[in-house]
Chains A and B, each alone.
Chain A
């Protein structure tokens, strides 16, 4: 279980997170939506430790991880994929995964090889295992982004706009993959603009705006709520 307790962060006068309270039960899938600049990626940076909050605490399975470094949070079970894929370009696809499995997943060599093999299969990258990551086309880079996060064997997986820029068919395939991952017991927080993809997976939806949680609950209700209507459709509340 992951909890954010009154987490705040500001860059000078710009507040990117304002007393955010959020929790993810183990194995739950949570969707996060909100306009650009609402603080969605900041939320992930606060959870992974790339940013330290100005105030508030981040708790993972009852343990306060607010002061842990990113690598330690990864080892504690938090995996993340980036909106813009950032593979290690000079490493092969397999090596990208193996670094994540060995260091982030804390696996031994043999176990890492096995786990990476399964992850490559799940994400449809087996045939490209030995290619340099820098040579992959966009779709495969997105797959690798997901695969590498999975290679750390996370118990909580953070997905940042992973469906953006995909065709309808590719998006469908991705949704199936994420469902499989979720069915394996991995908790997921998914930031996404492609709302129909999100709604096919998540059980709960959170709406962020100006660094605040403005609505949360059952996806269908949240989508009908006046807050979402105001933000997305410009309908005054």
Chain B
């Protein structure tokens, strides 16, 4: 039967999917860029954290901060040196470039780290749990993932609606040309947006890397879940993306409970169902 434990498990899994999707949602919302390399960039971040913790022996928390900074700079540079050249009215060139980037990252990781599965080590944190009443207990790691996702969305909302950078993001999202005429440097705004997107991806990488094994080939599958979460939630809405992740997580867990082979399928079915009922997602914030 589908009990409370299944629901809790689904919601917690949704936290991980939401974290995957946040960075994607962010840059789509601001610059209408569909980043096909998003999943692979998350993996790149996971491998960087792995290297920093195991090879350099730096504790996970410090490593996280370090890699967040590295990925922010990488995102800024990626936009200024590569993506900026292909962004425009035609959506095909950026799709092709990010698709190419995806292949480059996958093969680069394969070359450096090999095809073996890896996992991030978080010591006792991985297996500790919080006990609830009624014989239920919740794993600390997945709970932290969900809470992190909520905090991440709240912080990003705060940046969007309470800071001048956020106003610049929203103004540029509404009309980049006019934003420029109002003194906003569009190139910097976009570069910062991609930087933040990749910085958030590091958090996604860590929560995922502690929870499951990863190898260089799994980026595109993560991208697919992220896409589904963004679209279920509604394009351009960060809270929507969080809800989208949770809907996807719930659907997968409930499906798996009915029949273990149905986990992935039921996630996709839930996605299709939402698309049929609300083609613009649950919380659309943008005009079509």
- List the interface of chain A (C-beta within 8 A of B): 48, 50, 69-71, 74-75, 80, 82, 86, 88-91, 95-96, 98-100, 102-106, 109, 148, 152
Contact = CB atoms under 8 A, between A and B. Distances in A.
Interface residues of B, number: 20
B183 A86 contact: no
B175 A86 contact: yes
B10 to A, nearest CB: 32
Contacts of B170: 88, 90-91, 95
Interface of B: 164, 167-168, 170-171, 173-175, 177-186, 285, 287
Contacts of B287: 89
The 5 A-B pairs of least Cβ separation, nearest first, read A104-B183, A103-B183, A88-B174, A74-B183, A70-B180
A92 B173 CA distance: 14
A71 B167 contact: no
13 contacts: A69-B180, A71-B183, A71-B185, A74-B182, A75-B183, A80-B181, A98-B164, A98-B167, A99-B167, A103-B182, A106-B183, A152-B182, A152-B183
Contacts of B167: 91, 95, 98-99, 102
Contacts of B173: 90
A80 B180 CA distance: 11
Give the interface SS of chain B, mostly helix, strand, loop or mixed.
helix
A104 B182 contact: yes
Contacts of B183: 71, 74-75, 100, 103-106, 152
Given A71-B181, A96-B171, 18 more contacts: A70-B177, A70-B180, A71-B183, A74-B180, A74-B181, A82-B178, A86-B178, A88-B171, A88-B175, A88-B178, A98-B164, A98-B167, A100-B182, A102-B167, A103-B164, A105-B183, A106-B183, A152-B183
Nearest to B178: A86
B105 to A, nearest CB: 32
A94 to B, nearest CB: 10
B177 A103 contact: no
A99 B181 contact: no
A162 to B, nearest CB: 15
Nearest to A75: B183
A221 to B, nearest CB: 34
A70 B175 CA distance: 14
A49 to B, nearest CB: 8
A95 B285 CA distance: 17
Given A71-B185, A86-B175, A99 B168 contact: yes
Contacts of A99: 164, 167-168, 171, 179, 182, 184
B240 to A, nearest CB: 15
A43 to B, nearest CB: 15
Nearest to B181: A70
A48 B179 CA distance: 12
A184 B181 CA distance: 22
B71 to A, nearest CB: 26
A104 B186 CA distance: 12
Given A90-B170, A90-B285, A95-B167, A103 B175 contact: no
Contacts of A80: 181
Contacts of B174: 88-91
Contacts of A88: 170-171, 174-175, 178-179
